[in-house]
Amino acid sequence: MSTAAVAEQGTSLGEALRRMGGHATLGDVVAATGMPSNEAEAGLKKMLETCRGHLEVSGSGELLYKFDPGLVARDAEPFGLRFRRAAWAAFKTGFKIWTAVMLVVYFVVFVVLVIAAMTAGRASDRDGGFGGRRSGGFGLGDLFLMHWLLGGSGWRRGSLYYGDAHARHLPKEARPPFYKKVFAFIFGPEEPRPTQQQRDRSVLRLIRARRGVVTTAELVEHAALPLPEAEEEMARLTGAYGGDPRVSPKGEVVYTFPGLMKSAHGKVRAREPDPAWLRLEKPRKLTGNTNGSNLVIGGMNGFNLAAGFAIGLAPVLDTTGRAAALAVDPAVFLGLGVVPVVFSSMFFAIPACRALALRRENNARLRRNVRRVLVGLVCARSVGAVRWISLREASAHVLQKLQGSGASAELVGEELRTLAAEFGAEVETDDDGFRYRFPAMRAAFVEAELVRRGVKLEDWKPGQIVYSTSDSSTEASERDVAAFDRELDGAKLDLSRYLPSPNRIGYREDFDLVVDEAPVRGASRSRSRYPAQRFGSRRG
């Protein structure tokens, strides 16, 4: 599916890229469109932000812009996926409305009917019995029930329920109402949906902390994305935040962001964000509720299911006598039998089906966590002196860090081989099996650091000249010597400040992506720690 965003770049630019199969240099675009170089470059960067694509380097050191031939939008989704999502959202909304009526109303009705049936034989001897008391109308018990269902006055309408792990940190008056836990029992806890700008904050901190210069390998350290995805993400960041890709003398694409290093408050100082292995994903919960809440909700629905069978369906299903079946009112059969039984069965069936999908999702999260811990180990063995990593060492490291998570040596091996393929690692065998070295990882960090020292974005001036067409043979020889010295400088670089220890790991919930990292002070702070309006609402 093509994007209309191409029109913003000018029809000629989009048409030229389509004719070239989405693969072109800046010179190709200028020649094909007649646009000035600066306009063509600005248009290409804008397209990197809106269309799927990334940057490559040719053998001659030229930057190549590579887009999907159809110029597909980055947020484009197949129609079938969008239709299924919309249909599921509509079903959830309808079922929630049905739940609000069915679960509580039928529970109260069935309780009254059961108690009335139990006391009917004694009613005449007890001066009206329970039925007489109940006929008094809306009482204190009903008020208490409504307050319990709707929650305290401190809960803000429209707020999301992320589960009990988050809710118990809220002030007592702001705890979620019971109906939110009922919906979570069926559909799972609600999920925040951070905006793209909110997700970008930690990456922008990374860029500023590293003086406006990063490479794709450093983005992998930060987010543990697969390398192709990291390349696409760097291309998007380049278009969105004024990045300037350049090719280092070693052929590494280094991205500089001069605009992010300009501040009205003097020299930019930013704290390094946590790397990937300190931002592991916790397994998603089926309901997010406490066991006690689930027991109450399941008990209420189970009671409705049993009562629906006993009161509405059992007389019809009783084949011992035709008279019993004929005596059943059709309204009773449908209203107190079919409807509550169908609803209560779906009430239990939906979370049962979700459990299967949740298992797949948690397996995917476990695989991502294994990769994140491995990235930490690979960085530790590569950013300093490049050392070998055996499969046995990698498995022992990951399994010890993710103890109890279900990770296996086979999964570690798969992810290590994937990393090795992405970075072109050196491979050899020893007594322990295969082992790997990642010199390309160190090379990327070294080139980024050398560019930082050369361009000094905090002062912003051109970097060192590495080649000029006006060089004499003597000057060219001097530049070769300087390049050799530069390589020696790279070998001496201490990059340890960019690498927290991989021996420590940490977890982060989804809603922590946009939480202010300032210390929490008092209950009023706790109440607004994760306000719903800070996220794009995702109740579907």
The residue to which tokens 């630019």 are assigned? 13
Q: Which two tokens stand for residue 43?
A: 């248009």
Is beta strand 244-247 parallel, antiparallel or unpaired with respect to 213-214?
unpaired
Burial class (CB in 10 A: 0-12, 13-18, 19+), 133: exposed
Give alpha helix (H) positions in 458-498. 473-492
- Other Cβ atoms less than 10 A from the Cβ of 92: the count is 16
Per-residue pLDDT band at 156 (split at 50, 70, 90): low
Average pLDDT of the chain is 77
Q: Residue 251 pLDDT > 50, yes or no?
A: yes
Residue 47, number of CB atoms within 10 A of its CB: 25
Q: Is the pLDDT of residue 486 over 60?
A: no
Q: What is the CA radius of gyration of the chain?
A: 32
- 171-187 residue pLDDT tens: 777 778 888 888 899 99
Residue 151: the pLDDT is: 56
pLDDT tier, 30 (very low <50, low <70, confident <90, very high otherwise): confident
Identify the weakest region by mean pLDDT among 15-29, 31-45, 280-294, 472-486.
472-486
Distance between CA 501 and CA 130 in Å, rounded? 69
Contacts of 130 (CB under 8 A, 6+ apart): 115, 116, 119, 123
Maximum distance among all Cα pairs of the chain, rounded to whole angstroms: 120
Q: What is the pLDDT, as a whole number, of residue 76?
A: 66
Quote the tokens at residue 4.
């209309």
Mean pLDDT, residues 196-225: 92
Enumerate the H helices of 280-408 as residue ranges: 291-308, 314-317, 322-326, 330-333, 339-382, 391-401
**Which one has a higher pLDDT value, 41 or 390?**
390
**Residues 141, 108: contact at Cβ < 8 Å?**
no
pLDDT of residue 310: 84
Sign of the dihedral defined by the CA atoms of residues 126, 130, 135, 138, in that order = positive
pLDDT, greater one: 35 or 120: 35
- Give the residue with greater pLDDT, 95 vs 10: 95
Confidence of residue 398 (pLDDT cuts 50, 70, 90): very high
pLDDT, tens only, 293-315: 899 999 988 988 888 888 877 77
How many CB atoms within 10 Å of residue 370?
A: 26
Specify the amino acid at residue 351: P
Q: What are phi and psi of 205, to 5 degrees?
A: -65, -40
Beta bridge partners of residue 430, listed in sequence order: 433
DSSP 278: G
- Name the one residue in this structure whose structure tokens are 């999301």: 160
Share of the chain above pLDDT 70, in %: 73
The mean pLDDT value for 118-139 works out to 50
pTM of the model as a whole: 0.74
361 vs 314 pLDDT, higher one: 361
27 class by beta-carbon count within 10 Å (0-12 exposed, 13-18 middle, 19+ buried): exposed
CA distances from 134 to 102, 106, 122, 324 (A): 21, 16, 15, 29
The proportion of the chain whose per-residue pLDDT surpasses 90, expressed as a percent, equals: 27
Strands of the sheet containing 63-67, edge to edge, are 23-25, 63-67, 53-57
Q: Return the amino acid letter for 413.
A: G
pLDDT at 142 over 80: no
DSSP helix/strand/coil, 51: strand
134 exposure class (CB count in 10 Å sphere: 0-12, 13-18, 19+): middle
Quick one: which of 342, 201, 327, 220 has its CA closest to 273? 201
The predicted pLDDT at position 129 comes to: 43
C-alpha 210/C-alpha 523 separation (Å) is 36
Q: Which residues, listed in sequence order, are joined to residue 55 by a DSSP beta bridge?
A: 65
Helices 196-209 and 227-240: crossing angle, nearest 10°? 90
Least confident of 136-140, 183-187, 200-204: 136-140
- Rounded to whole angstroms, how far apart are CA atoms 213 and 258? 9
Higher pLDDT pick, 264 / 10: 264
